[in-house]
Amino acid sequence: MSTIDLQALIPNNVDLADNRQLQRALEKWQPAFLNWWNEMGPSDFKANDVYLRTAVGVDASGWASYGYTPMPEYRWGIFLADREENRKIGFGDFMGQDVWQDVPGEYRSTFRRLIVTQGDTEPASVEQQRLLGHTAPSLYDLRNLFQVNVEEGRHLWAMVYLLHAHFGRDGREEAEELLERHSGDVNKPRILGTFNEPMDNWLSFFMFTYFTDRDGKFQLKSFAESAFDPLARTTRFMLTEEAHHMFVGETGVGRVIRRTLEVMKELDTDDVATLRKAGVIDLPTVQRYMNYWFSDSLDLFGSESSSNAANYFSNGIKGRPDEARFADHVESGTEMTIQVPDGQGGLRSETVSVRNGLNEVTRLEYVKDCNIGVTRWNMAIKRAGIDFELKLPSTRFRREVGMWAGVPTTPEGTPISQAEFDARKAQWLPSEADQAFVKSLMQRVTEPGKMAAWIAPPDRGINAQPVEYEYVKL
Ligand SMILES: [Fe+2]
Ligand SMILES: [Fe+2]
């Protein structure tokens, strides 16, 4: 097993000290990263001790060490999952051949673009969330936000390492640009739309970590299959960190729901105005936020039928998430059916090759994964004896990318006219009034163990600490 050099300026398990040129280049990028963190990372809280976990090893058990650290002193480093001896390419046209330790020249620009796009999302989310610390509903939540933020920072390091180590001068330039684009910047926005959306409330933060970080999980899972072994090893380790982000999302939304259910029972009502007056988020509003963030995240998988997706798969660049679970790893000449708009207000089936349809395959796996949490939330609602069911909208709803882009549909996926969509929009997506209400609840709570009135406490604390633990020393 590899060991992490924790004493190095840049903690790493890639023997950075043996490659002076690469080490120097990354040590030059490091102050630029810290500058970015100070300017664009969490606003304030720089001097505060935060109870954070830091990677100290890459094996599945016990890689994390917990302790108080001010965020700017977090040990961001370069950690790859251990190398698997004799690893073979597991899919596509090169199936069964040795994996690559270097990028083949003909796929260089493709890999570079994919790594840059993935890398761009990591600091983007930190930028989107930079003001949330001021309205954290508890110290426990504040700590979780900061944990997610420092880890997204580390994910940027992960991608920058690949750019520096394998893409020469182009890679170094891309690494600099990753710090120059900013979320929501009119002149230099982040690459993907979702990562330019402002985030001014914690309900959106929980939805984002549940739905959008989960898109990240699926992208990473696809990269974890890559024939380019350093990319596969990097993303495998990132996945272990990513799991916490989705935990924050699932339990966050779950706690919002639990608190609402308590008040619904207490007041014996499902009247939205009454519940809002009591300071909790009514379930239809939770549903609308879910519709928004879920549909937004669906677009990140790309078009239903895509020759790029086919090329990535054929050439071993990106596999399917958990490729081993699929029966056929080559998909030569196999076909699948997708639903497309018929142009007359209805839908029709179209047959595409599986290779062309891989974005859709991955998207559907993602939807299944999203439904696991929704089922748990619904169980809590049912247990409380409340007659309400949360439901993910159709993958056709509110799409801006792919076959369904700009085709108005109901949440069930039935095509409708634009006029009908506009008329009913406020039932389906957060209205201005919903947003103003949710925002009005965002008040900072700083006493250890105390929660804002709109959210229930977590079942347990972090790393076996009590919920009342002082997770951030203010
Ligand atoms: Fe990430
Ligand atoms: Fe994440």
Q: What is the pLDDT of residues 428-456, one digit of tens each?
A: 999 999 999 999 999 999 999 999 999 99
Q: How far is the CA of 151 from the centre of ligand 1 (A)?
A: 7
pLDDT at 343 over 60: yes
Q: How far is the CA of 122 from the centre of ligand 2 (A)?
A: 7
Residues in the 5 Å CB sphere of ion ligand 2: 213, 242, 245
∠ Cα 49 53 54 (to 5°): 105
What is the percentage of the chain residues whose pLDDT exceeds 90?
94
Q: How far is the CA of 357 from the centre of ligand 2 (A)?
A: 26
Q: Domain-by-domain residue ranges, the chain?
A: 16-473
Q: For residue 234, give the ligand nearest its CA.
A: 1
pLDDT at 95 over 70: yes
CA dist., res. 283 & res. 292, Å (int): 14
CA dist., res. 459 & res. 59, Å (int): 27
Q: How far is the CA of 8 from the centre of ligand 1 (A)?
A: 23
Burial status of residue 436 (CB atoms within 10 A of its CB: 0-12, 13-18, 19 or more): exposed
Q: Where residue 345 falls among pLDDT bands split at 50, 70, 90?
A: confident
Q: What is the dihedral angle through the alpha carbons of 206, 211, 212, 216, rounded to the nearest 10 degrees? A: 120
pLDDT of residue 60: 66
Question: In Å, how far are 2, 3, 21, 78, 79 from 16, measured between CA atoms?
Answer: 13, 12, 9, 9, 11
Q: How far is the CA of 10 from the centre of ligand 2 (A)?
A: 21
Q: For residue 208, give the ligand nearest its CA.
A: 2
- Window from 50-54, 62-66, 150-154, 406-410 with minimum mean pLDDT: 62-66
The three-state DSSP-derived secondary structure of the chain is CCCCECCCCCCECCCHHHCHHHHHHHHHHHHHHHHHHHHHCCCCCCCCEEEEEEECCCCCCCCEEEEEEEHHHCCCCECCCCCCCCCECCCCCCCCCECECCCCHHHHHHHHHHHHHHHHHHHHHHHHCCCHHHHCCCHHHHHHHHHHHHHHHHHHHHHHHHHHHHCHHHHHHHHHHCCCCCCCCCCCCCCCHHHHCCCCCHHHHHHHHHHHHHHHHHHHHHHCCCCEHHHHHHHHHHHHHHHHHHHHHHHHHHHHHHHHHHHHHHHCCCCHHHHHHCCCCCHHHHHHHHHHHHHHHHHHHCCCCCHHHHHHHHCCCCCCCCHHHCCCCCCCCCEEEEEEECCCCCEEEEEEECCCCHHHHHHHHHHHHHHHHHHHHHHHHHHCCCCCCCCCCCCCCCCCCCCCCCCCECCCCCECCHHHHHHHHHHHCCCHHHHHHHHHHCCCCCCCCCCCCCCCCCCCCHHHCCCCCCCEEC
Q: How far is the CA of 359 from the centre of ligand 1 (A)?
A: 20
pLDDT at 1 over 60: no
Q: For residue 242, give the ligand nearest its CA.
A: 2
Q: How far is the CA of 362 from the centre of ligand 1 (A)?
A: 18
Q: How far is the CA of 275 from the centre of ligand 1 (A)?
A: 35
Output the six-digit token pair for 474. Answer: 């203010």
Q: How far is the CA of 252 from the centre of ligand 1 (A)?
A: 18
Q: What is the pLDDT of residues 183-235, one digit of tens each?
A: 999 999 999 988 998 899 999 999 999 999 999 999 999 999 999 999 999 99
pLDDT of residue 59: 76
Q: How far is the CA of 424 from the centre of ligand 2 (A)?
A: 33
CB 82, CB 3: distance < 8 Å: no
Q: Count other Cβ atoms within 10 Å, centred on residue 184.
A: 14
Q: How far is the CA of 309 from the centre of ligand 2 (A)?
A: 23
Q: Where residue 63 falls among pLDDT bands split at 50, 70, 90?
A: confident
Q: How far is the CA of 395 from the centre of ligand 2 (A)?
A: 22
- Per the DSSP assignment, residues forming a β-bridge with 340 are 348
Average the pLDDT over 391-413 and give the result.
Answer: 97
- Window from 196-200, 303-307, 347-351, 414-418 with minimum mean pLDDT: 196-200
Q: How far is the CA of 99 from the centre of ligand 1 (A)?
A: 24
Q: For residue 121, give the ligand nearest its CA.
A: 1
Burial status of residue 350 (CB atoms within 10 A of its CB: 0-12, 13-18, 19 or more): middle
How many residues are listed for the chain in this entry? Answer: 474
Q: For residue 158, give the ligand nearest its CA.
A: 1
Q: How far is the CA of 125 from the centre of ligand 1 (A)?
A: 8
CA dist., res. 14 & res. 435, Å (int): 46
Q: Where residue 5 falls among pLDDT bands split at 50, 70, 90?
A: confident
Q: Where residue 62 falls among pLDDT bands split at 50, 70, 90?
A: low
Output the six-digit token pair for 153. Answer: 């920072």
CA dist., res. 181 & res. 308, Å (int): 25
Q: For residue 145, give the ligand nearest its CA.
A: 2
CB 310, CB 360: distance < 8 Å: no
pLDDT at 426 over 90: yes
What is the percentage of the chain residues whose pLDDT exceeds 70?
99
pLDDT of residue 61: 63
Q: What is the pLDDT of residues 457-471, one digit of tens each?
A: 999 999 999 999 999
Q: How far is the CA of 220 from the centre of ligand 1 (A)?
A: 9
Q: What is the pLDDT of residues 236-255, one digit of tens each?
A: 999 999 999 999 999 999 99
Q: How far is the CA of 234 from the centre of ligand 2 (A)?
A: 14
Q: How far is the CA of 243 from the centre of ligand 2 (A)?
A: 8
Q: How far is the CA of 2 from the centre of ligand 1 (A)?
A: 23
From the candidate CATH numbers 2.40.160.210, 1.10.150.120, 1.10.730.10, 1.10.620.20, the one assigned to the domain spanning 16-473: 1.10.620.20
Q: How far is the CA of 159 from the centre of ligand 1 (A)?
A: 10
Q: What is the pLDDT of residues 253-302, one digit of tens each?
A: 999 999 999 999 999 999 999 999 999 999 999 999 999 999 999 999 99
Q: How far is the CA of 298 from the centre of ligand 1 (A)?
A: 17
Q: How far is the CA of 72 from the centre of ligand 1 (A)?
A: 18
pLDDT of residue 161: 98
User: In this predicted model, which residue has the larger pLDDT, 226 or 61?
Assistant: 226
As a whole number, the mean pLDDT across the chain is 96
Q: How far is the CA of 462 from the centre of ligand 1 (A)?
A: 20
pLDDT of residue 197: 83
**Integer-rounded Cα radius of gyration of the chain:** 23
